[in-house]
Amino acid sequence: MNRKNILCVVLFSIVTFVSCSQKNTEARYSISGTIQNAGKQKLILQELKFENGANVTLDTITLNEDGKFNFSFLAKEEGLYRLAIENEYENGFEILLINDEKNIQVNADPNNYESYTIKGSKGSEALNQFLKAYRIKDESFFATVDKLQGLQKTNGDPAKIDQTQKEQFLKITDINNYIQKSLTENDNPIVIQYILGVSLRSMETSQVLAYAKAAAEKTKSALLAKFVATLTNQIQANTTSTPLSIGQPAPEIAMSDATGKIITLSSLKGQYVLVDFWASWCGPCRAENPNVVSAFEKYKNKKFTVLGVSLDDNKADWQAAIIADKLNWQHISDLKKWESTVISTYQFSGIPYNVLIDTNGIIIAKELRGQALQDKLASILK
């Protein structure tokens, strides 16, 4: 399968679709424009139905010599649509659209696929901007994969194999960084859900779930809440619940900071991280904060940092406590107090609570308070 059109298939495999913006009555939408150098081929408009992985063809027209076209259709909600030339889909010619506006214009040329333009739909523009950059990164990554496989099959130079493996790691890291950046920058639930679906190609499912939870909370989207529920059920069906213990990889956390930027625990890999669960309203937490501040100031230049995860439900109180207690490290929260998703993930019932994670993301200690925190850090950060 062509790597350009595999992106739709990825999303079909994991998503149950829920309407993003339900309306009481149907509205009419128009998609028009010009497809150059396509001859008198058939142009197809399809709605992508995620719940069963099917494409519903809404209309098919035969292009005129000038390539101009116009589709008109009714819809009650925002959805994801696809324009494709009947004989060109397997060669990668497809354009994805979101009907967030009534009139959308598309201009494209099958002979110069990446030159297509979309006007009149911010959601469509954002989605296709993501896809254009993602395809470049994805194709570069798979070129490296193919190169590595060729070297391994022919018992190539070990030094070249090692170098190519490093290139492969850097490229997958670049893809995941781009995905994270795109999730933070976009606020259209359909665009976000599409990016989340694509991210399953390069990220652990648990990491994607963490991003999805953060995005669902940020957008308050029923669409993304359903995505979270579906992915959670899939993970639970394939895993056995075990107590969180020392020696295990730390579960991913992805939440927004005070500015709305999504911060992930995995982004701190390479440092020792104290994940500190606290809240402004928690007296024992506030009493312990000077000890954490002391540890941070003492070891912050020795690959040590703190990630504050708040169980607050009042943003102003949370921010005021950070300033008052001089907590000069990254802070995140979903502002859901005891309904926060991190409670079940990290299996604690009271705060303050913390876990210490090594440079590889492995839990090496839990519930370090007072002198116990200082002693543990002194033993590993000499």
Name the residue with tokens 């979101």: 98
Tokens representing 182?
């795109």
Q: How many residues can be counted in the chain?
A: 382
Nearest to 144 by CA among 116, 174, 182, 186: 174
Name the residue with tokens 């953060």: 214
Give how far the C-alpha of residue 3 lies from the chain's centroid of Cα atoms, to the nearest Å: 20
Query: What is the model's pTM?
Result: 0.68
> For residues 302 and 377, what is the distance between their CA atoms, to the nearest angstrom?
10
> For residues 130 and 123, what is the distance between their CA atoms, to the nearest angstrom?
11
> For residues 191 and 270, what is the distance between their CA atoms, to the nearest angstrom?
31
Confidence at residue 19, expressed as pLDDT on a 0 to 100 scale: 44
Q: Do residues 113 and 93 make contact, with C-beta atoms less than 8 angstroms apart?
A: yes
Q: Do residues 368 and 357 make contact, with C-beta atoms less than 8 angstroms apart?
A: no
The CA dihedral of 154, 156, 161, 167, to the nearest 10 degrees, is -70
Buried b (16+ CB within 10 A) or exposed e, 194-233: bbbbbbbbbbebebbbbbbbbbbbbbebebbbbbbebbee
The CA dihedral of 9, 11, 15, 18, to the nearest 10 degrees, is -110
Sort residue 242 into left (φ over 0), alpha (ψ -120 to 50) or beta. beta
Confidence at residue 12, expressed as pLDDT on a 0 to 100 scale: 45
Is the sign of the CA dihedral 234, 238, 242, 245 positive or negative? negative
Confidence at residue 236, expressed as pLDDT on a 0 to 100 scale: 67
Q: Cβ–Cβ contacts within 10 Å for residue 344, how many?
A: 10
* Strand-pair category, 272-278 with 304-310: parallel
Confidence at residue 147, expressed as pLDDT on a 0 to 100 scale: 87
Confidence at residue 11, expressed as pLDDT on a 0 to 100 scale: 47
Confidence at residue 209, expressed as pLDDT on a 0 to 100 scale: 87
> For residues 214 and 224, what is the distance between their CA atoms, to the nearest angstrom?
10
Confidence at residue 50, expressed as pLDDT on a 0 to 100 scale: 59
Q: Tell me the β-bridge partners of 48.
A: 55
Q: Any idea what DSSP says for residue 250?
A: P
Backbone dihedral angles phi then psi of residue 306, each to the nearest 5 degrees:
-125, 140
What string of pLDDT tens digits covers the 382 residues of the chain? 344 454 444 444 444 444 444 455 789 999 999 999 888 889 999 998 755 556 789 999 999 888 999 999 998 888 899 998 876 554 557 899 999 999 999 999 988 888 889 999 999 999 999 999 999 998 998 888 888 888 888 888 889 988 988 898 899 889 999 998 999 899 999 999 999 988 888 888 878 888 898 888 888 888 888 888 888 877 766 655 566 889 999 998 988 899 888 888 988 989 999 999 999 988 888 889 999 999 999 999 999 999 999 999 999 999 999 999 999 999 999 998 888 888 888 988 889 999 999 999 999 999 999 999 999 999 999 7
> For residues 41 and 85, what is the distance between their CA atoms, to the nearest angstrom?
7
